[in-house]
Amino acid sequence: MADADLAQAERQALCDLMMTLGPEQATLCEGWNADDLAAHLIVRERQPLAAPGIVLGGPFARYTARAMDRLIERHDFEELVGLVRSGPPRLLRPADGAMNLIEFFVHHEDLRRGPPRVEPRAGIVALEDALWSQSRRRFKMLTRKLSDVDLTLSDPVRGDKHVGGGDRPVTMVGSIGEITLYLFGRRSAARVDLVGDPAACAELSGGRLGM
């Protein structure tokens, strides 16, 4: 299955789950319920002036937060979910797989694993194969703020992949889905083990991750 098809499948599954659980369902994103998550996804795809705050922080993040609040004020939850479900906008569709596969996997798990916690999904081999193929480029960026950590990802099915460039070796062991959640900041929910230099493991478990 192509990455774009997998991204669409994750999008639709997330939207179905949103409608099942409702707008007040908590997520793994601290302070966000399902309606906040829907608004975030709409801003990311449909409001280019507000989207930079997702990454840049500071005054940009405040502008993004206001854009999300306006969406929640102006649309009921079903409308918000409908906007997410219908995406991406036409101009972004050629990049759907590259742009949205990891994003929608992570946010689907944000909602699935918000309280009460549930187990990781089984039977997602094609999805995890696609995550694995995208992992090197994306994860190098996510770990670039760590100091001198030489990171290797070790998936028991797919083997090892080196993504770090430091001198202190750490191996992160787990399925690529769990590794993805960990490196996108969902450390408490991700089922991984860290093996290697103790100081480097401590930095990876508590240091800054992200763009």
Residue 126 in any domain: the answer is no
Distance, CA of 84 to CA of 137 (rounded, Å): 26
86 and 42, same structural domain? Answer: yes
94 and 20, same structural domain? Answer: yes
Residue 124 in any domain: the answer is no
Closest CA to 117 of 30, 34, 27, 38: 27
138 and 107, same structural domain? Answer: no
**Pairing verdict, β 193-196 and 159-162:** unpaired
191 and 153, same structural domain? Answer: yes
Residue 122 in any domain: the answer is no
93 and 32, same structural domain? Answer: yes
Which residues have C-beta within 8 Å of that of residue 159, sequence separation ≥ 6? none
Query: Cβ-count burial of 193 within 10 angstroms (0-12 exposed, 13-18 middle, 19+ buried)?
Result: exposed
Residue 165 in any domain: the answer is yes
- Reading the block at residue 27, the tokens are 């997520």
- Inter-helix orientation angle 96-112/3-21, to 10°: 30
- Reading the block at residue 94, the tokens are 């050629």
17 and 77, same structural domain? Answer: yes
14 and 60, same structural domain? Answer: yes
Residue 22 per-residue DSSP state: -
50 and 105, same structural domain? Answer: yes
27 and 59, same structural domain? Answer: yes
99 and 13, same structural domain? Answer: yes
Tokens 């290697």, residue? Answer: 196
Identity of residue 22:
G
pLDDT of residue 60: 76
Cβ atoms of 77 and 85 within 8 Å: the answer is no
- Reading the block at residue 137, the tokens are 């480029």
pLDDT of residue 122: 92
Query: Average pLDDT by consecutive 10-residue portion of the chain (211 residues)?
Result: 95 98 96 97 86 72 89 98 95 92 97 89 96 88 84 96 88 97 94 95 85 58
168 and 94, same structural domain? Answer: no
End residue of a domain, out of 50, 78, 112: 112
pLDDT of residue 61: 80
Q: How many domains does the chain have?
A: 2
What's the domain range around 45?
3-112
93 and 155, same structural domain? Answer: no
- Reading the block at residue 112, the tokens are 């699935």
